[in-house]
């Protein structure tokens, strides 16, 4: 009886060891790594340049608006009601254009930042994948977002799940 109990214990320990040996989970703080890359200075410079361009465009629009309002104020006294209304509509359209430009500028800045940062994140992601493979990690989570930074492709069950659902998915090689 004792031998049987000993064999069960050894089997459980062996199974536990092999089960834990199959996966190795790590973490990485990608934002710290990206912020330390030398290329980040180029990103900052590119963002400053782009923001200055947008500010110059806004200033140009504001100057044109100011000039239009000034000219309209001088001419309002001699205008017909119909022409006044037309001029006011033009001024409202310029105001709307300026407001729309300001709103779009925020989105444009974000898009440009994403565009400039993408190669840095790819560089860090490639390095994380290389370290993960060499250190035999199966999954690596980011510390700054609880997202997976790396997953060993052999643990991806997408194709098996698709087959179970009767779906056909083509894989890229």
131-150 pLDDT, tens per residue? 888 888 888 888 777 677 77
- Residue 117, in any domain of the structure: yes
- Residue 71, in any domain of the structure: yes
Per-residue pLDDT, averaged over 65-87, amounts to 88
For residues 141 and 27, is the Cβ–Cβ distance under 8 A? yes
Tell me the DSSP string of the chain: -HHHHHHHHHHHHHHHHHHHHH--EEEE-HHHHHHHSTTHHHHHHHHHHHHHHHHHHHHHHHHHHHHHHHHHHHHGGGS-HHHHHHHHHHHHHHHHHHHHHHHHHHHHHHHHHHHHHHHHHHHHHHHHHHHHHHTT-SEEEETTTS-EEEE-GGG--HHHHHHHHT-------
- Residue 170, in any domain of the structure: no
* Domain interval for residue 76: 2-165
- Residue 173, in any domain of the structure: no
- Residue 61, in any domain of the structure: yes
Average pLDDT along the chain: 83
pTM over the 0.75 mark: no
30-50 pLDDT, tens per residue? 888 888 989 999 999 999 999
Per-residue pLDDT, averaged over 55-82, amounts to 90
- Residue 9, in any domain of the structure: yes
Please, which pLDDT band fits residue 170 given cuts at 50, 70 and 90? confident
Q: In the predicted model, is pLDDT for residue 155 greater than 90?
A: no
- Residue 172, in any domain of the structure: no
| pLDDT of amino acid 1 | 53
- Residue 62, in any domain of the structure: yes
**Total domains in the fold of the chain:** 1
Could you tell me which residue, 87 or 162, shows the higher pLDDT? Answer: 87
């Amino acid at each position: 009886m004792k031998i049987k109990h000993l064999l069960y214990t050894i089997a459980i320990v062996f199974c536990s060891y092999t089960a834990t040996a199959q996966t190795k989970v790590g973490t990485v703080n990608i934002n710290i790594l990206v912020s330390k890359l030398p290329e980040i200075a180029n990103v900052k410079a590119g963002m400053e340049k782009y923001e200055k361009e947008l500010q110059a465009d806004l200033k140009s629009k504001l100057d044109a608006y100011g000039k239009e309002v000034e000219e309209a104020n001088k001419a309002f006294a001699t205008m017909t009601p119909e022409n006044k209304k037309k001029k006011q509509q033009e001024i409202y359209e310029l105001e709307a254009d300026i407001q729309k430009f300001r709103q779009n500028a925020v989105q444009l800045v974000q898009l440009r930042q994403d565009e400039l940062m993408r190669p840095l994140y790819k560089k860090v992601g490639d390095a994380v994948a290389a370290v993960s493979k060499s250190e035999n990690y199966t999954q690596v989570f980011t510390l700054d977002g609880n997202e997976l930074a790396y997953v060993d492709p052999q643990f991806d069950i997408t194709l098996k799940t698709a087959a179970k659902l009767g779906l056909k998915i083509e894989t890229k090689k």
